[in-house]
């Protein structure tokens, strides 16, 4: 984020805290992609993800006075979204839990279709435990390093690293079993 954008966003945060709805709208438009994507990749349900994202922004609206800077805003949104996603997933007992072994094997060559490979990866990640799943999302969607992920998820750094290692090993294993000769 460049200085001008940061200063502008800082101004928007201040104005929103004072009740300026236009400033709040701008903040929402700027961050809705991040919040919605995290929820959507985690829950794999667009409607549920939208509802959760709305709740996160409503919560933000009530807590705007505690936001100190644009960086703090992004951190706050990631943290609240992550925790809400994990809570939602735990509450959602009706959601069918698919074990890694039960993830269906693809019936066509992945190299022929990138969309197919992406979907395959998402399904494998979806079968991971909640915290490991969120670690992968924060690492690959938000491009955070393990230290940042640890602070967002209130988790020891070594736990984050081991989650990442294990998840990548599972993904590699599953995909190489599926794709065979394709080097991943």
The site for another protein (CB under 8 A) is made up of: 14, 17-19, 21, 24-25, 28-29, 32-34, 36-37, 40-41, 46, 49-50, 53-54, 57-58, 61-65, 114, 117-119, 121-122, 125, 136-137, 140-141, 143, 168, 171-172, 175, 183-184
Helices 146-153 and 70-91: crossing angle, nearest 10°?
60
The smaller minimum CB distance to another protein, of residues 59 and 159, is found at 59
Q: CA torsion 127→132→134→138, rounded to 10°?
A: -120
Q: What is the smallest separation between the CB atom of 105 and another protein, expressed in angstroms?
A: 17
Q: Which sign does the torsion angle of CA 47, 122, 78, 143 carry?
A: negative
Cα 73 off chain centre by: 16
Q: With respect to another protein, which residue has the nearer C-beta, 63 or 156?
A: 63
Smaller CB separation from another protein, 58 or 157 = 58
56 in Cβ contact with 99 (< 8 Å): no
> Among residues 22 and 94, whose Cβ is nearest to another protein?
22
For the bound state, the minimum distance from the C-beta of residue 109 to another protein, rounded and expressed in Å, comes to 14
Shortest gap between Cβ of 149 and another protein (angstroms)?
14
CB 136 within 8 A of CB 167: yes
């Amino acid at each position: 984020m460049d200085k001008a954008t940061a200063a502008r966003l800082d101004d928007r945060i201040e104005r929103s805290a004072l009740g300026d709805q236009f400033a709040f709208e701008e903040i929402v438009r700027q961050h809705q992609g991040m919040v919605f994507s995290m929820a959507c990749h985690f829950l794999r349900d667009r409607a549920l993800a939208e509802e959760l994202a709305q709740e996160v922004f409503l919560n933000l609206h009530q807590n705007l006075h505690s936001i100190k800077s644009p960086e703090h805003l992004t951190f706050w949104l990631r943290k609240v979204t992550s925790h809400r996603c994990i809570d939602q997933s735990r509450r959602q007992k009706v959601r069918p839990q698919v074990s890694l072994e039960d993830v269906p094997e693809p019936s066509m060559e992945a190299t022929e279709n990138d969309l197919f490979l992406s979907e395959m990866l998402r399904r494998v990640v979806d079968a991971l435990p909640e915290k490991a799943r969120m670690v992968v999302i924060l690492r690959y969607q938000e491009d955070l390093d393990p230290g940042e992920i640890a602070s967002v998820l209130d988790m020891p750094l070594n736990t984050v690293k081991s989650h990442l290692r294990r998840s990548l090993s599972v993904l590699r294993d599953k995909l190489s079993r599926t794709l065979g000769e394709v080097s991943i």
